[in-house]
Structure 1
Amino acid sequence: MPTVTIRSAVEADCATILRFVRELAEFEREADAVKATEEDFRRDGWGEQPVFEALIAELDGAPVGFALTFRNFSTWEGRPGLYVEDLYVTPDARRHGVGRKLLAAVAQRAVERGYRRVDLSVLDWNPARGFYDRVGFRQMKEWLPYRLTGDALSALAAEGDAGA
């Protein structure tokens, strides 16, 4: 039986994280959408003010997956939470409990820090939805994701020049 270990990512993992992000983007049919670089991960994960954390999953010592999280905040709970931006396990490593162990490590971090929840988003066609259901996540059907980006983001930001 292969051995699965989960560890905190270190700065030397930036290339591995970028590789996993690219593989995930390919799976999500957005291979050309990744603009991130190793330097972006280095700066924002290990710079003066880190904005994310990552966990690396290893199968018999080889990296096979990761979870990248950042802190969010619930005004209703009055407490922080963790948002899972990306969870990815290489196809050959699936069915070894790697994803579950990654999410268990994320949950452990949240509980140890007194956070009240872990959030994530998943594409409607992604077969991993069944996995998330089995782990205990619940789809929030009444909440719809919205995103502001590109020209619309710039246009709205320009309105803020009035002294916000």
Structure 2
Amino acid sequence: MPIRDAVENDTDDICSMIEEHARYEGKDDLVLDRAEMARHLFGPEPKAWVLIAEVDGATAGMAFCSWNFSTWEARPGIWLDDLFVRPEYRRLGLGRQLLAELKARTEGRVEWDMQEGNEKAAAFYADLGAEPVPGWVRYRWRG
């Protein structure tokens, strides 16, 4: 099952999967502006990038990412903002393949957040060898 870099023609699928993920997490009203997303992903100064997982030519999942940098490690890493596999394609190893591809793209760390109480995701990440970061609390400051 191929993993590939997204192209601009994938924008609608990317936004649809983000909206599907939001509904899965209980946020039913999220609707993204496709043109705005395309500008941020594929415009002259991209702010993020996406890996696409395909099954028989259908878009089955994605990893939505951006680069970060660790001052203490003195190397870039990857921030995984969203990992999503459509329900009908789960249990095929796509999540593992997407994460393996991310890990292969950096000598630094791959990091992400997980919503508290998501036991299935916690078990999946633990099985990969990923660990929660003890002693750190995420803050968010919005404009």
Shorter chain as denominator, the TM-score bin is over 0.9
Matched, 1:76 2:68: no
Identity rate, percent: 39
Structure 1: give runs of 5+ residues left out of the alignment.
Answer: 154-164
Query: Which secondary structure does the structure 2 equivalent of 1:40 belong to?
Result: helix
Amino acid at match of 2:10: D
Counterpart for residue 113 of structure 2: 121
Output the TM-score relative to the length of structure 1.
Answer: 0.83
Matched, 1:39 2:61: no
CA RMSD of aligned residues (A): 1.1
Output the TM-score relative to the length of structure 2.
Answer: 0.94
- Please identify the structure whose Cα radius of gyration is greater: 1
Q: How many residues align?
A: 142
Indicate conservation of the 8 Å contact 2:19/2:31, yes or no.
Answer: no
Counterpart for residue 131 of structure 1: 124
Matched, 1:25 2:22: yes
Amino acid at match of 1:36: L
Query: Which secondary structure does the structure 1 equivalent of 2:133 belong to?
Result: coil
Q: Is the helix fraction higher in 1 or 2? A: 1
Structure 1 segments of 4+ aligned residues over 6 angstroms from their partners: none
Q: Of the candidates 8, 13, 17, which is equivalent to residue 16 of structure 1?
A: 13
Amino acid at match of 2:11: C
Query: Which secondary structure does the structure 1 equivalent of 2:79 belong to?
Result: strand
Structure 2 distance, partners of 1:31, 1:137, is 30
| 10-19 vs 51-60, greater mean Cα deviation | 51-60
Q: What is the CA-CA distance between 1:141 and the residue it aligns to?
A: 2.4
Q: How does 1:78-97 map to 2 (within 5 A)?
A: 78-97=74-93
Please list the CA deviations of residues 68-103 of structure 1 after superposition, one character each: whole Å capped at 9, or x if unmatched.
Answer: 100011111111110000000011111100100011
Structure 2: give runs of 5+ residues left out of the alignment.
Answer: none
Counterpart for residue 4 of structure 2: 7
